[in-house]
């Protein structure tokens, strides 16, 4: 049985991985969205607004769609759920 210390270390590792992923993603998207030249405040705002629709979609996918559909080999339902998520995020 894993100790409490090991569980905390594993949890911390997961949090650090997620934060690293989102920080890296933010800067990549910022470079994509920026106007030619330097990064301005409006570039940061556009990227943050875009992130507001992506982050929940990713975590809903990780928490619900993958365990419920993809891991159970229900690929068509997974694709349908993903399309609904994308349309819902686009409407946001």
Burial class (CB in 10 A: 0-12, 13-18, 19+), 44: middle
Q: What percent of the chain has pLDDT over 70?
A: 97
| 2 pLDDT higher than 70 | no
| 1 pLDDT higher than 80 | no
Q: For residue 92, what pLDDT is reported?
A: 64
Q: Tokens 């993809």 identify what position?
A: 70
Residues 11-54: pLDDT tens digits? 999 999 999 999 999 999 999 888 888 888 989 998 998 888 88
Spatial distance between the Cα atoms of 57 and 39, rounded to a whole number of angstroms? 26
Q: Domain tally for the chain?
A: 1
Give the residue numbers spanning the domain of 52.
4-91
Does the model's pTM come out above 0.85? no
Instruction: Give the pair of three-digit tokens for residue 17.
Output: 């991985």
Helix orientation angle between 4-33 and 41-60, rounded to the nearest 10 degrees = 130
Q: Residue 45: which of 59, 33, 57 has the closest Cα?
A: 33
């Amino acid at each position: 049985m894993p100790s409490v210390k090991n569980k905390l270390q594993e949890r911390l590792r997961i949090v650090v991985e997620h934060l690293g992923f989102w920080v890296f993603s933010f800067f990549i998207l910022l470079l994509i969205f920026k106007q030619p030249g330097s990064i301005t405040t409006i570039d940061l705002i556009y990227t943050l607004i875009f992130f507001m629709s992506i982050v929940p979609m990713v975590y809903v996918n990780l928490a619900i769609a993958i365990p419920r559909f993809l891991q159970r080999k229900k690929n068509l339902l997974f694709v349908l759920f993903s399309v609904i998520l994308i349309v819902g995020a686009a409407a946001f």
